[in-house]
Each structure stands twice: as C-alpha cells, then as structure tokens.
C-alpha cells in the first residue's frame, strides 16, 4: 500500500500542504499560548503516535507531556508549546531560530 504524502507523519519534510499547515498552526498556537490563560491544549484530535520520534502526529507532544497536561501549570504548558514547531522539522534539520515568539535566536 503506498504512503499517503498528506499524512502528518510522512514524509519527513515540510513539503506537503498538511505539514505546512500544521507547522503554521503550531507557530500561531505557540504565540497565542504566551498570552492565553489558561493555556489551551495543542491537541488536534489525531492521537496517533509516531513510533520513530515518540511524538503524537497531531500535536507533537510526548506521552508524558500529554499525560501531564491537565496537571501542568501555565508556565509548563507554554514551555511545551514552544517545543512543538521544532519537532515538526525533518530529522537532522533545525527549525528557523526565532520562528516562535519568545524562542532563542
């Protein structure tokens, strides 16, 4: 069965429309999370783990991050949001520094 290029977990680039949309959504979400109280969940109702990276393919959080979200304070939730856009970058590549407001340049 051929791989679906639109699937969030494949291919390992930002070259598909679905992955570009997810990346843009994560950047907007990370920026909004810096202002929002309470900080919203990044869940996109996909809930499928990428076995190679150990992230959810929808929200890019790890199982411990997902499990701890309800008990995390807003500072921890903001920290997690800031990690997400970089996780979408292809393996071995770096996301553009400063692409998320408040991230290190």
Q: What gap in Å lies between CA 78 and CA 62, rounded to an integer?
A: 15
Report the pLDDT value the prediction gives residue 17, as an integer from 0 to 100. Answer: 84
* Percent of residues in the chain assigned helix, strand, coil, to nearest 5: 40, 5, 60
- What is the structure's pLDDT at 53? 87
Q: CA-based angle 75:87:97, to the nearest 5?
A: 80
- Look at 3-12, 25-34, 79-88, 90-99 and tell me which has the smallest mean pLDDT: 3-12
Question: Where along the chain do its domains lie?
Answer: 17-87
Find the mean pLDDT for residues 92-97: 45
User: What is the pTM assigned to this prediction?
Assistant: 0.65
Contact call for residues 67 and 80 (beta carbons, < 8 A) = no
> Tens digits of per-residue pLDDT, 27-82?
888 888 888 888 999 998 989 998 888 999 899 999 999 999 999 999 999 999 99
Whether the predicted pLDDT of 13 surpasses 80: no
Radius of gyration of the chain (CA): 14
Question: How does residue 90 score in pLDDT terms, banded at 50, 70 and 90?
Answer: low
Q: In the prediction, which pLDDT does 42 show?
A: 93
Q: Give the pLDDT mean for 12-19.
A: 70
CA distance readout (Å), 93 to 34, 63, 85, 87, 96: 25, 23, 12, 10, 9
From CA 7, how far away is CA 17, in angstroms rounded? 10
E strands present in 1-105 = 49-50, 55-56
């Amino acid at each position: 069965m051929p791989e679906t290029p639109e699937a969030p977990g494949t291919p390992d680039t930002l070259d598909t429309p679905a992955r570009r949309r997810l990346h843009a959504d994560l950047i907007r979400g990370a920026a909004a999370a810096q202002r929002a109280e309470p900080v919203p969940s990044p869940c996109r109702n996909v809930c499928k783990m990428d076995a190679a990276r150990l992230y959810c393919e929808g929200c890019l959080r790890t199982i411990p991050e997902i499990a701890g979200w309800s008990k995390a304070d807003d500072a921890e939730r903001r920290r997690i949001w800031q990690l997400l856009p970089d996780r979408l970058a292809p393996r071995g590549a770096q996301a553009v520094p400063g692409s998320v407001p408040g991230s290190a340049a």
